[in-house]
Amino acid sequence: VYSKQVPHPQQQRRPGERAGLTTEAVVGTARRLIHRDGSDALSMRRIAAELGVLPNALYSHVADKQALEDLLVDQLLGEIRWPTEGTWRERTLAVHRETRATLLSEPAIATVYVQRAGRGPNALRLAQRSLQMLDEIGLTGERAAQVFRVLIAHTVGFVAFELSRTHSDRAAAAALPPGTGLDGLAQSPGELEYALGLEWLIDGVLAWAKPQRARKASTG
């Protein structure tokens, strides 16, 4: 199951000599590794080997593997571009589709994100901006928080579901009993299903917000 690991750049230092590591270098190497080989292949020992240091050298720059994974997740969340133009509906659609696209651009990091929350600064910024947008259609306080949780759960949850099916799709489709009407069911949902669900949720949000709306805003 394992292919023998290549110990590429061997370290050549005596005790006390520095390798010049930084947290950024560790995170960067981790990202290259997880992008190339997947989340299962991300190990402290592999990162260390890639950097030419012993495994425990990493612990001078990150608390443990969980902390490192949280840094990877928040870095990725920071790459989500926030839409500035369009109606409320258009911008809401855009930011959620952009979130999905960003997560799918690094499936292995998204897998890590789905396993554990990881609420770094970028996650908080996104939440804050989402609340500001809900304020535009008259949603504030607990009601706004609820709608935020419905929408974010849909996007992140959908990606989680997608990722869990993407890989095993071909094998599963081939194993299906033919002629039972199940052809295509083993298929993973994608852009079409995601957009359908998101539109329906936004319809619901707008209808739910209506009785509360005081100020006027273009909802698309």
Partner DNA sequence: ACCTGAACACCGTTCAAGT
Interface ranges with DNA (CB under 7 A): 1-5, 11, 13-21, 41-46, 52-57, 59-61, 64-66
Owner of token pair 């495994």? 55
**Beta-carbon count within 10 A of 191 CB:** 12
- Asked if residue 128 binds a second copy (CB under 8 A), the reply is yes
For residue 57, the partner it binds in a second copy, DNA, none, with Cβ less than 5 to 8 A by kind, is DNA
- Asked if residue 82 binds a second copy (CB under 8 A), the reply is no
- Asked if residue 131 binds a second copy (CB under 8 A), the reply is yes
Q: Which of 5, 60, 164, 218 binds a second copy (CB under 8 A)?
A: 164
For residue 20, the partner it binds in DNA, a second copy, none, with Cβ less than 5 to 8 A by kind, is DNA
- Asked if residue 127 binds a second copy (CB under 8 A), the reply is yes
Owner of token pair 């010049």? 20
Cα separations in angstroms, 11 against 31, 53, 55, 69, 96: 21, 5, 11, 24, 44
- Asked if residue 56 binds a second copy (CB under 8 A), the reply is no
- Asked if residue 94 binds a second copy (CB under 8 A), the reply is no
For residue 215, the partner it binds in a second copy, DNA, none, with Cβ less than 5 to 8 A by kind, is none
Q: Cβ closer to a second copy: 24 or 169?
A: 169
- Asked if residue 114 binds a second copy (CB under 8 A), the reply is yes
DSSP conformational letter for 178? T
For residue 182, the partner it binds in a second copy, DNA, none, with Cβ less than 5 to 8 A by kind, is a second copy
- Asked if residue 111 binds a second copy (CB under 8 A), the reply is yes
Beta carbons of 51 and 25 less than 8 angstroms apart: yes
What's the rounded Cα separation, in Å, for the pair 125 and 108? 23
Cα separations in angstroms, 74 against 52, 55, 180, 198, 203: 26, 23, 44, 24, 30
Which segments of the chain does DSSP mark as H helices, in order?
A: 23-37, 44-51, 65-77, 88-105, 107-115, 121-136, 141-166, 169-175, 191-209
Owner of token pair 């394992």? 2
- Asked if residue 191 binds a second copy (CB under 8 A), the reply is no
Determine the interface stretch with a second copy among 30-38, 42-50, 77-85, 185-193 (rule: CB under 8 A): 185-193
**Beta-carbon count within 10 A of 128 CB:** 9
Number of residues that bind a second copy (CB under 8 A): 57
